Structure 1
Amino acid sequence: MGLETALPIDGVLTTQLQKVINWSRRSAIWPMPFATACCGIELMATAASRYDLSRFGAEVMRFSPRQADLMIVAGRVAVKMLPVLQRIYQQMTEPKWCISMGACASTGGVFDTYAVVQGVDQFIPVDVYVPGCPPRPEQLIEGVMAIQRIIDEDRIPPKGPDGKRMPLQIAIPPTHRVRPQPMPLTVGQS
């Protein structure tokens, strides 16, 4: 009742080694969550039973950087936390990918202060940006699927002129329409 019954007994299956390697990489992504704020709640919801990120091969969240190959930066990153983020990213094994989840991780969000990093892409290479404040779990799943499409490409990750990995910087479009607020905003009026 498995694959053996569908294939003939003396059948031959041919493929390219690069495609088999890419298929196995895309089917076993191990995310390293770096969640510091409200985006972390949406990240947890993505792994819960309603959205079930395990259907896409990213089932096991690894909290050890040496066992992870996808870093998900969810939420704002303080300047004091930046060396920790960089160290964790450096400890991850190659090939590795990065998703910047939410407005705070991508641009600093509403925290335009000296203490919050205004975009993690200034310090680590980001492959996929997931917009929103906070983004819905469906958007994060679309970001993981974008990483899988990147992995499916031959010769991934691409190398730059200095031999180091270059980020692909793909932006995922929002999946919702922003509605007007129920009450108009009045500042300084009585």
Structure 2
Amino acid sequence: MLDIFKERLHQKYRTLDFPRKAPGLSPRYMGRPEIAAGDCGSCRACLDVCPTGALRKLSPGETGGIALDMGRCLFCGACARACTAARGEGLIRFTKDYRVATFAREDLIVTAQPRPLHTPRACNGLFSRSLKLREISAAGCNACEADTNVLGTLVYDLGKFGISFVASPRHADGILVTGPVSRNMREAVLATWAAVPEPRIAIAVGSCAISGGLFAGSGECCGGLPPLCDVQLFVPGCPPSPWSILDGLLRLKSEKDVL
């Protein structure tokens, strides 16, 4: 027993005081991308290296040279490196901002021209005190699943925010889906969604769940969750940081920015 108390004193308090204190991130972490205004001309360096086609050239009438879709982006940084190599000064850079979650699909499109973002919808304060979710792994690789499950550990302590995962959709306020939703999982996702009592919410975590990711266009998957139901929260990444998921859940739950 004394050894237990001794170890507890040695370990100290491990739960981060989030959101009042910002998390520490790895120097290699790639967060919300930023795009500078500029004319790309005939250069296609960034488009050619993107494995998911997350980039597109803007028309001459649009501000900036390119647009980046975070819903398809893997946050690998290949586009930023290729742009810098081709131009000497890149138009694309990935910041350390982990707050990438949005409440509308179109808000995941990043350009050089900032615009107002959508606010949470469909909650109306109903889940401000408690939010119960049924997690569905719809043919994911287990990366997004792992970064979601880790929220239950003492560092993140998801339960202190009144958020928890439940075993039955009938006990849930919504679903949280990871993976591209394979054909074999389509009916399971729809059945689970139908079993959640209204009002309900749907959350897509990871590029696969948002757009199909690397599997977009494959006949074996449905292209993520949006084709199947109305999604209220999009958390991009491959996989997204646990802090990105937690930030999105808290902003959805409280209907305001937490930082």
TM-score (norm 2): 0.47
1:84 and 1:23 mapped to 2: Cα distance?
Answer: 29
Give the Cα separation in 2 of the matches to 1:66 and 1:109. 29
The percentage of counterpart residues that share the same residue type is 27
Unaligned runs of 5+ in 2: 1-123
Counterpart of 2:225?
Answer: 120
Give 3-state SS (helix, strand or coil) of 2:219's partner. coil
Equivalents in 1 of 2:227, 2:185: separation in Å?
Answer: 14
Please report the RMSD computed on the Cα atoms of aligned residues, expressed in angstroms.
1.9
Asked if 1 retains the 8 angstrom alpha-carbon contact of 2:212 and 2:221, the reply is yes
Select which of 146, 149, 153 maps to 1:41: 146
Name the SS for the 2:226 alignment partner: helix
What is the rounded CA distance, in whole Å, between the counterparts of 1:116 and 1:32 in structure 2?
A: 21
- Match of 1:99, SS state, is strand
Q: State whether residues 32 and 71 of structure 1, in contact with CA within 8 Å, keep that contact through their aligned partners in structure 2.
A: yes
Match of 1:134 in 2: 239
Shift of 1:119: 2.5
Q: Which amino acid aligns with 2:154?
A: S
Distance 2:254 2:126 in 1: 13
Which residue of 1 is the match for residue 56 of structure 2? none
Q: 1:23: how far off?
A: 5.7
Tell me, yes or no, if the aligned pair for 2:144 and 2:205 is still in contact at 8 Å: yes
Task: Check the 8 A contact 2:125/2:254 in 1, yes or no.
Answer: no
Shift of 1:49: 1.5
Tell me the equivalent position of 2:187: 83
Assess if the C-alpha contact under 8 Å between 1:128 and 1:146 holds in 2.
no
Query: What secondary structure, in the 3-state scheme, does the structure 2 residue paired with 1:30 have?
Result: strand
Q: In the aligned structure 2, how far is the partner of 1:124 from the partner of 1:25?
A: 20
Cα distance, 1:24 vs structure 2? 6.4
1:107 aligns with 2:211: yes
Distance 1:31 1:49 in 2: 19
Structure 1 residues 98 and 24, CA gap change in structure 2 (3 angstroms): closer
Query: Structure 1 counterpart of 2:176, which letter?
Result: I
Query: Which protein is richer in strand relative to its size?
Result: 2
Cα offset for 1:75?
2.0
Deviation of residue 76 (structure 1)?
2.5
Q: Distance in 2 between matches of 1:75 and 1:56?
A: 25
In the comparison of the two structures, how many residue pairs are matched? 130
TM-score, normalised to structure 1's length? 0.63
Kindly tell me: are residues 95 and 24 of structure 1, through their superposed partners in 2, closer, same or farther at Cα, counting changes over 3 Å?
closer
Give the superposition deviation at 1:47: 1.8
1:26 aligns with 2:128: yes
Cα distance in structure 1, aligned partners of 2:181 and 2:130: 27
Partner of 1:98: 202
**DSSP 3-state at the match of 1:116:** coil
C-alpha separation between the residues in 2 aligned to 1:106 and 1:135? 12
Paired residues of 1:130 and 1:143 also in contact (CA < 8 A): yes
Distance 1:66 1:28 in 2: 15
Q: CA deviation at 1:148?
A: 1.0
